[in-house]
A and B are shown apart, each in its own frame.
Chain A
Amino acid sequence: MNANAVAARFEIPYRACLDNDGNLIGPLPQFAQDAELLRQIYRMMVRARTFDAKAVNLQRTGKLGTYPSCLGHEATHVGVGAAMLPDDVLFTVYREIGAKFWRGVDMHSVLLYWGGDERGTLYPSTPQDFPFCVPIGSQMPQAAGAAFAMQIRGEPRCVLVFVGDGGTSQGAFYEALNFAGAKALPLVCVIVNNGWAISVPVRQQTAAQTLAQKALAAGIPALQIDGNDALIVCETVGEALARARGGGGPTVIEALTYRLADHTTSDDASRYRDSVQVEAAWALEPIARFRKFLSARALWDDAAEGALKRELGEQVDAAVHRYLATPKQSTDTMFDFLYAELPQHLQAQRDEARRYAVRRA
């Protein structure tokens, strides 16, 4: 019987693979043998960034509503997408277009959603994935529930849920993780720590030294990674998913990155953070370093870059054109998806809405 003992210790491992110049600083992951996969990861990151820039411009020219840029997050988002299996289910916050694009969601859908049209949440290629989630943290318990279903049915499938640094302050975050731990659910939670919750920096968000360690309160193993390193993202998320798939329970991975743009197009980050910090963060950005990594292995060159830019330019233009040409839904659609069957007393309201339909978009 000891009067003093150590009740628990903990460590949060940190892992990285590429430094910010694209040099290998850790062992090359197994999947990196696949050159085409590596190129595909790179192409998808550039795709996300290209689309993202266009979306911002659409908002600035009055053609899109408020839009949250993913500038700087491409490695975390695409790395997760590449690590998941098609049969897994993805829950996002609202920035993770890289992951959605990898899983087959098209640019037109993303534009529709931010352009004020619910049809943007139709995901034919991933019909079980949830749409963007705006109320912060509320995707967490839902993700746990979906993982719970997979466990009940004994399926070799996983749920991956994204949450931001701000989201880790919400009660729903803790409740969901606690449940996942208690039930050993097949859930992988990727905390995208981009340093900012609108204007609130992480050090004001919490006193915790890492966000990953919040998982330990739920008894869940956790690690922290360089979120700008697409290789380590893909590797660690892949490992966690494999563990979960095999019944090994949940994992929390905190991916360190930086929000290089404003929170959304309605925000002006220059009000609360200085440009020196942002410039320093640019030096760590994920796409440049990955290009260097590919080039060093003779997997990429200027000609490929040029071809990619042209191809992406066309894809983005086509998506924008299709989006701009999409007429708004009829007023009936306000009523079509309220219940499985529209209650009779609402038919009169549906008729009234038709009579007063606004013609302008």
Chain B
Amino acid sequence: MDFFQVLQIIIPSMIFLAAPLIFTALGGVYSERSGVVNIGLEGLMVIGAFSSVVFNLTFADTFGALTPWLSLLVAIAAGVIFSILHAVASITFKADHTVSGVALNFLAVGLSLFLVKIMYDKGETDRVAEGFHKVDIPLLKDIPVIGPLFFTDAYYTSYVAIAVAVLAWYVLFNTPFGLRLRSVGEHPMAADTMGINVTKMRYIGVLISGGFGGFGGAVFALTVTGYFGHTTISGQGFMALAAMIFGKWHPIGALGAALFFGFAQSLSIVGSGLPFFKEIPNVYLLIAPYVLTILALTGFIGRADAPKASGLHYEKGKR
């Protein structure tokens, strides 16, 4: 197997594995940039996965091939609604952000499984009829070198993920809205003095993160597993959280980090079939993603500073 063939295996599966993480990590960025720690990303993914699968199962006959896309929208809505809980608890009632986020995680798993049990009278849903399938992008797939690597055997959602990451970066760093959002996360008092409604901005940050979390969960459910059960989302939310920190609370950084995680995971899976990795015992390949992550976090990215007011409550007039 030559090198190009190896890349042809690794790169599509890297992008495929990274897509759900990208969305969710972006959610984390928006929430934390506004000053609210959101450890509930995992729970938001669960809600997204659950609602998208249920919608898909229920309306597959009505909407046909359009169903998976509509399911994604439903998942975003569900994520936004669910994240209101976090926003109310941590912003209005000034509860500890971490505690509220953990509560979100527990609630999401319990609630969604309970509902599955009630609706379908079993522990997990059936397989969705209309999921996302692999596609070759017409025209682009014929570009030499790049075509086979990036535009064959891909999912549309992966491109959406990358496009959305760039959009998220633009909004956060090049619009007045983004500046306001960042300012309430860095120095809410100064922002308040300038007439920015801190509470409102933080609510918006959390709700956006809810939408992204739901989206990420839905993408995972519809591209990878195809059904919803208690093992569907297991730890991806926390990986997204890590990707966000790894990416220094920056949308493009988060995108890169998620792709890096995908790459490491893909390498560990594909590795044993490759000529120069064949001699390495399987166990080292399996731990490679985690070792690479630790190395990258400690060695290469330097200081990772959270937004200054992240996790702190803002009380008017308090010094």
| Pair from one complex | no
Chain B residues engaging chain A, CB cutoff 8 angstroms: none
